[in-house]
């Protein structure tokens, strides 16, 4: 077993152990961090590994969230089918948006993804008869069960989050070492050279967006499932910016950076919420400081300075 895989398994084991060691409040926080870290890992595949800076990932997060929540709320779908619907919904949205947005590059790509996400958010508001708009709706607790486990209990929520987090982390770890992931990194580093070497760059980027969007959709669906609530604010602009913040802070293009960044920011928001309601102020300050002083993030800097093998 190599060091990267051992590190991933070690982190997963430590997170499993943490539930029994940490006080209930922090375990609850950690469950939320793991779900949001899934989102950040999905975002990282597009931004950190392929170099595609999307400002519209809330669209995919929202597609997954509403895919699960609406099919549960209005059709009484059980957990597993609802989760599948969510994954298919977010994959389809990512495929269509990716095919269109990837015709543009750089700044135009960012604005196009931002616009698509804004249109998705407004659509959720427009159909407020079903989605109840900003106010959102609470999922029926009786349906939030899987294989006999109650997903609304503290333990059920924690271990469901851990299971999906672990699967995503191992999947990302495998992708970035597979030829597909290597090709994505090649595109990020030097796109004309990747093209010259014979890679179908457009198609690879499209696949990256689809996988990234589906993982983000998984995170949205998991969030709705475990916390029992779906609302349009999860599809709004700040939810496109937050994964960027988590990934930049933890380190873009590192497998564990999203987890580190998410954990750090959630606790920072948590601490600041006792001082002020304006928690996004902290997000703004951290974003500016990061771009100025730590563009590679925490793990990216650590990899550069001390641990070159860090995955």
Partner 1 sequence: MDFGPHLMLAILEGAVTAAILALTAMGLSVVFGVMRVVNVAHGEFYMLGAVIAWFVATTLGAHPALGFVAALILAPLLVGGLAAVADMLILQRIGYDPERTIVATIGMLYIIQQGTLMTFGPDARPVAPPFNSRIPLPWLEWAEGKLSFYYPWGLSITSYKLFVIAAAALILIALWLFMTRTRAGLVMRATQQDSAMAQAFGIPVGRVYALVFGLGAALAAMGAVLVVPIQQAHYLMGHDPLLLSFIVVIIGGLGSLPGTVIAAVLIGVSDGVISVFFSPTLAKITATLAVAMVLVFRPQGLLGKKAH
Of the pair 36, 114, the CB lying nearest partner 1 is at 114
Residue 110 lies near partner 1 (rule: CB under 8 A): yes
Of the pair 190, 291, the CB lying nearest partner 1 is at 291
Interacting residue with partner 1 among 6, 13, 80, 100 (CB under 8 A):
100
One DSSP character per residue, 261-275 reads HHHHHHHHHHHHHTT
b or e along 267-289 (b: 16 or more beta carbons within 10 Å of the residue's beta carbon)? ebeeebeeeeeeeeebbeebeee
Interacting residue with partner 1 among 225, 286, 298, 299 (CB under 8 A):
286
Of the pair 84, 280, the CB lying nearest partner 1 is at 280
Question: What phi and psi values does residue 229 have, to the nearest 5 degrees?
Answer: -150, 140
Residue 96 lies near partner 1 (rule: CB under 8 A): no
Of the pair 40, 87, the CB lying nearest partner 1 is at 40
Of the pair 75, 126, the CB lying nearest partner 1 is at 126
How many alpha carbons lie under 13 Å from residue 202 in its C-beta half-sphere?
7
Residue 151 lies near partner 1 (rule: CB under 8 A): no
Would you tell me how many other CB atoms lie within 10 Å of the CB of residue 198? 7
Assess contact for 234 and 61: CB atoms under 8 A. Answer: yes
Of the pair 81, 284, the CB lying nearest partner 1 is at 284
Identify the CA nearest to 166 among candidates 256, 266, 65. 256
Between CA 244 and CA 238 the distance in angstroms is: 10
x-or-dash string of contact with partner 1, 243-272, rule CB under 8 A: -x---x------------------------
Residue 118 lies near partner 1 (rule: CB under 8 A): yes
Shortest gap between Cβ of 177 and partner 1 (angstroms)? 26
Between CA 239 and CA 258 the distance in angstroms is: 15
Burial of 140 (0-12, 13-18, 19+ CB in 10 A): exposed
Between CA 67 and CA 77 the distance in angstroms is: 11
In total, the chain counts a number of residues equal to 311
Residue 294 lies near partner 1 (rule: CB under 8 A): no
Of the pair 111, 185, the CB lying nearest partner 1 is at 111
Give residues 26-55 in contact with partner 1 (rule: CB under 8 A): 53, 55
Interacting residue with partner 1 among 6, 174, 284, 307 (CB under 8 A):
284
Residue 281 lies near partner 1 (rule: CB under 8 A): yes
Give the SS3 label for residue 146.
strand
Between CA 256 and CA 263 the distance in angstroms is: 11
Question: What phi and psi values does residue 230 have, to the nearest 5 degrees?
Answer: -135, 130
Shortest gap between Cβ of 112 and partner 1 (angstroms)? 5
Residue 233 lies near partner 1 (rule: CB under 8 A): no
- DSSP state letter for 141: G
Task: Count residues binding partner 1 (CB under 8 A).
Answer: 41
Interacting residue with partner 1 among 107, 142, 147, 306 (CB under 8 A):
107
Chain centroid to Cα 1, Å, comes to: 27
Assess contact for 124 and 133: CB atoms under 8 A. Answer: yes
Shortest gap between Cβ of 302 and partner 1 (angstroms)? 20
Of the pair 114, 143, the CB lying nearest partner 1 is at 114
Interacting residue with partner 1 among 10, 14, 126, 167 (CB under 8 A):
126
Binding site for partner 1 (CB under 8 A): 53, 55, 100-101, 103-104, 106-108, 110-112, 115-116, 118-119, 122-123, 125-126, 237, 241, 244, 248, 276-281, 283-292, 295
């Amino acid at each position: 077993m190599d060091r990267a895989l051992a590190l991933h398994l070690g982190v997963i084991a430590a997170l499993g152990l943490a539930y029994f060691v940490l006080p209930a409040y922090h375990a609850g926080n950690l469950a939320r961090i793991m779900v949001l870290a899934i989102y950040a890992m999905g975002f990282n595949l597009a931004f950190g590994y392929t170099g595609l800076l999307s400002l519209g990932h809330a669209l995919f997060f929202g597609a997954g969230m509403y895919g699960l929540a609406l099919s549960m709320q209005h059709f009484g779908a059980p957990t597993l089918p609802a989760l599948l619907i969510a994954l298919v919904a977010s994959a389809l949205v990512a495929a269509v948006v990716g095919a269109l947005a990837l015709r543009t590059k750089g700044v135009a790509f960012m604005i196009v993804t931002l616009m698509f996400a804004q249109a998705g958010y407004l659509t959720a508001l427009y159909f407020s008869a079903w989605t109840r708009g900003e106010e959102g709706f609470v999922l029926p607790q009786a349906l939030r069960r899987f294989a006999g486990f109650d997903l609304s209990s503290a333990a059920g929520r924690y271990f469901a989050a851990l299971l999906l987090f672990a699967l995503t982390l191992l999947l990302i770890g495998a992708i970035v070492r597979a030829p597909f992931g290597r090709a994505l990194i090649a595109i990020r580093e030097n796109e004309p050279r990747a093209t010259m070497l014979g890679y179908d760059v457009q198609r690879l980027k499209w696949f990256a967006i689809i996988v990234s969007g589906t993982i983000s959709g998984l995170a949205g669906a998991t969030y709705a499932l475990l916390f029992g609530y779906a609302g349009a604010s999860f599809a709004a602009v700040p939810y496109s910016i937050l994964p960027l913040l988590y990934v930049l802070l933890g380190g873009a293009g590192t497998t564990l950076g999203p987890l580190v960044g998410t954990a750090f920011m959630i606790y920072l928001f948590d601490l600041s919420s006792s001082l002020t309601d304006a928690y996004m102020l902290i997000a703004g300050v951290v974003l500016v400081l990061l771009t100025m002083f730590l563009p590679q993030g925490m793990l990216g800097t650590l990899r550069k300075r001390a641990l070159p093998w860090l995955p």
